[in-house]
Structure 1
C-alpha cells in the first residue's frame, strides 16, 4: 500500500523549493494555460509547443504561404532568445543575495503577461513572441522535480520519463520508481488541466485572460520568497 502521508510530503516537502512538486505543478498549470491562450486568442500560435510552430511554419512555407509561415518563425526566435537570456541571468546573478535569480525570472514573466493582456488583436505576433520568450525563461529556470529532469511548459519529455519510470516499477517493484512516475503523471495532468481551463477562459475573456497566468506566477514567486526568508537561499 502507498502511504498517503508520503505522497503529501512528496508534493509539499523538498530541500530545494524550486525542485518541489507543489511549486512545479503551479508552473505546469500556468504553462498549459499560456499555450491554450496563444492558440485561441493570438492567432493559433503555440507559446510553448515550438515543435508545433515548426511543423506549421514548414507546412505553410512549402505550400507557398509565406506570410502564414513567417508568423510561426518569430515565436521560435523569441523562444531561443529566452533560453539565451535566462542562461545569462543565471550566470550573472546565481549568487545574488537580495533576490534569487529564479525569482527575478518569475517577476519578468509576470511583467510580460501583464503587458500582453493589454495588447490588441492587430499585434498578435508581438503578443505570441512575448509569451514564447517568457515560456523559455521558465523552461530554463525550472528543470527538475525531486532532482529528476522535467519541463513545466511541454509534455512529451514528461510523458516519456513517466512511462519509463512506471515500466521500471513494474520490473523492480521499487516504490521510488512509482513515486517518480507519479510526479510526471501529476505534471502532465496539471498541464492538461491548465490548457483546458485556459482554453475556456480565453473564449470568455479574450486578451486579458493571460492575467490569470500572471496571478499563478505571482503565487509561485511568493512561495519562493517565503522559503527564502525561512532560510533556504539555495533554491
Structure 2
C-alpha cells in the first residue's frame, strides 16, 4: 500500500504544501529542498551574515536527523505485525506538523527545523511508486527519471516505458499542485495552514491499514 498511486499522491500534495508553507510563512526557508538551503547558507556565511547562515544550516541538520530517525523506527518496528513501521512514521509526522501550527513566527527557526525533520522522515520511508524509485518531497530526481524514460521510449517505442514516464510527470504535477494550494492557504491561514498537511498525512495513516 505504501507504493500505491493514491498514497503517493497524498504524500506529494503534502510535500509540495510543506515547501510552500515554510517559504511563504517561515522566513523563506525550504522544508524539502535542502540544496537551496545549502546554497543560501554558503552564500550568507561567505558574506559574513552568520545568523542568516545558521538559519539555513539548522534545517539541513534537522533533515539529516529525520533520515536517522526514520531508519531507527524501521529497525525497531520493521517486523511488527500489529502496525506497519511506515504508519508510525506518518503518525509522528502528522503530530509534529500539528504542533508547528501552534508556533508563532517569533520561533520560525524551530518550526522550520521540525518541518525539515518531518520531510526527511517521509522521503526516507516512502521511496517507491508502483515499484519504481520516487521521491514525494522533491522533484529533481523524479524529473530526471521521467525525462530519461521518455528518451528511452522515443528510441525503443516501448509503451510501458512511455507509461512510466508519463506517470512520473503526472506526479510532479501533483507536487506542484500541492505547492500551489499551500501558497494560497498559507496566505489565508498563516501559521495554521500546515494543519492541512497534517490532515493529509492522517488520511495516509488510515489508508495503510489496507494491505494493498
TM-score interval for Structure 1 and Structure 2 normalised by the shorter chain: over 0.9
1:82-119 residue CA offsets vs partner (Å, 9 max, x unmatched): 00111111112111011100000000000001100000
Q: Which residue of 2 aligns with 1:41?
A: 25
1:1-235 equivalent positions in 2, closer than 5 A: 17-225=1-209, 227-228=210-211
Contact 1:145 1:183 in 2 (8 A): no
Which runs of at least 4 in structure 1 moved beyond 6 Å after TM superposition? none
Mapped partners of 2:177, 2:118: distance in 1: 20
Mapped partners of 2:66, 2:50: distance in 1: 25
Larger radius of gyration: 1
Structure 2 unaligned runs (5+)?
Answer: none
Q: Which residue of 2 aligns with 1:3?
A: none
Normalising by structure 1, report the TM-score: 0.89
Mapped partners of 2:3, 2:160: distance in 1: 16
Mapped partners of 1:77, 1:141: distance in 2: 18
Normalising by structure 2, report the TM-score: 0.98
1:22-77 residue CA offsets vs partner (Å, 9 max, x unmatched): 21011011000000000111111100000000001111111111111110010000
Q: Structure 1 residue 182: deviation in Å?
A: 1.7
1:144-195 residue CA offsets vs partner (Å, 9 max, x unmatched): 1111111000000000000001111111111110111122111110110111
Structure 1 unaligned runs (5+)?
Answer: 1-16
CA-atom RMSD, angstroms? 0.8
Mapped partners of 1:146, 1:175: distance in 2: 16
